[in-house]
């Protein structure tokens, strides 16, 4: 798409791809930390998905303006949110499919992503070749928007998180709490006192 719009810019096309990948790596790390901090699985996933949709809209309708530096910026924004969505999606999937093993749900999600990636790449390539890059990008915009709607309709049931919280609460309740007015007991001293008492009897 870059080469079609910007002739003789093969080197910068590669750099734009690199920008997208590096921004995506940063986005994955930040989104992962944020999810661990807040545990807001559906809210975070939906917001990042929506920002991905906005990012691809900006990329689509600014690609042909003739400003290569703008393409770098929009590609970075797009990569940050789209790749940052991946760990969120995997974690949210694991939460909803618990107690199915994490490897199974993550493996199915990864396989699904690869299959749809191949199909969408072929379709977008065909649209770009037969028409123009705008047509291919609009195709992706439509499907990302459908994804936003489907994500909004997902019922947020954090099965794994709820089970873990239940285990933690039980563990806390099982710990004996000594009364602050009573001195702490010492098992060794108590046993010695009992032995001495029995001996004297």
Give me the domains of the chain, ranges plus CATH numbers.
2-163 (1.20.1250.20)
Per-residue pLDDT, 190: 43
Residues 124-165: tens digit of each pLDDT: 989 988 998 899 999 999 999 999 999 888 877 666 666 667
Spatial distance between the Cα atoms of 27 and 155, rounded to a whole number of angstroms: 25
Residues 108-117: tens digit of each pLDDT: 988 998 999 9
DSSP the chain: -HHHHSTT-HHHHHHHHHHHHHHHHHHHHHHHHHHHHH--HHHHHHHHHHHHHHHHHHHHHHTTSS-HHHHHHHHHHHHHHHHHHHHHHHHHHHHHHTTS-HHHHHHHHHHHHHHHHHHHHHHHHHHHHHT-HHHHHHHHHHHHHHHHHHHHHS----HHHHHHHHHHHHHHHHS----TTSPPP-HHHHHHHHHHHHHH-
Instruction: Quote the pTM value.
Output: 0.72
Q: Are 141 and 153 in contact (CB under 8 A)?
A: no
Q: Are 96 and 159 in contact (CB under 8 A)?
A: yes
Token output for 81: 């949110």
Per-residue pLDDT, 193: 46
Per-residue pLDDT, 169: 53
| Four-CA torsion 191, 197, 198, 201, nearest 10 degrees | 180
Residues 168-197: tens digit of each pLDDT: 555 445 545 444 555 544 444 444 444 444
Residues 70-95: tens digit of each pLDDT: 999 999 999 999 988 888 888 888 88
* 173 CB burial (10 A radius; 0-12, 13-18, 19+): exposed
Residues 93-110: tens digit of each pLDDT: 888 888 878 888 888 988
Mean pLDDT on 20-37: 90
């Amino acid at each position: 798409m870059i080469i079609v719009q910007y002739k003789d810019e093969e080197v910068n096309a590669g750099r734009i791809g690199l920008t997208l990948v590096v921004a995506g790596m940063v986005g994955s790390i930040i989104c992962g930390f944020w999810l661990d901090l807040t545990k807001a699985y559906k809210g975070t996933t939906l917001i990042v998905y929506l920002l991905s949709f906005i990012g691809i809209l900006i990329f689509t309708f600014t690609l042909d303006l003739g400003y290569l530096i703008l393409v770098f910026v929009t590609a970075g924004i797009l990569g940050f949110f789209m790749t940052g969505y991946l760990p969120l999606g995997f974690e949210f999937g694991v939460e909803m499919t618990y107690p199915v093993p994490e490897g199974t749900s993550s493996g199915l999600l990864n396989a699904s992503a690869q299959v749809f990636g191949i199909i969408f790449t072929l379709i977008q390539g065909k649209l770009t070749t037969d028409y123009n890059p705008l047509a291919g990008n609009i195709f992706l915009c439509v499907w990302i928007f459908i994804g936003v709607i489907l994500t909004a309709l997902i019922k947020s049931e954090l099965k794994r998180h709820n089970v873990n919280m239940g285990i933690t609460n039980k563990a806390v309740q099982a710990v004996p709490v000594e009364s602050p007015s009573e001195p702490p007991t010492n098992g060794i001293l108590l046993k010695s006192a009992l032995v001495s008492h029995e001996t004297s009897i």
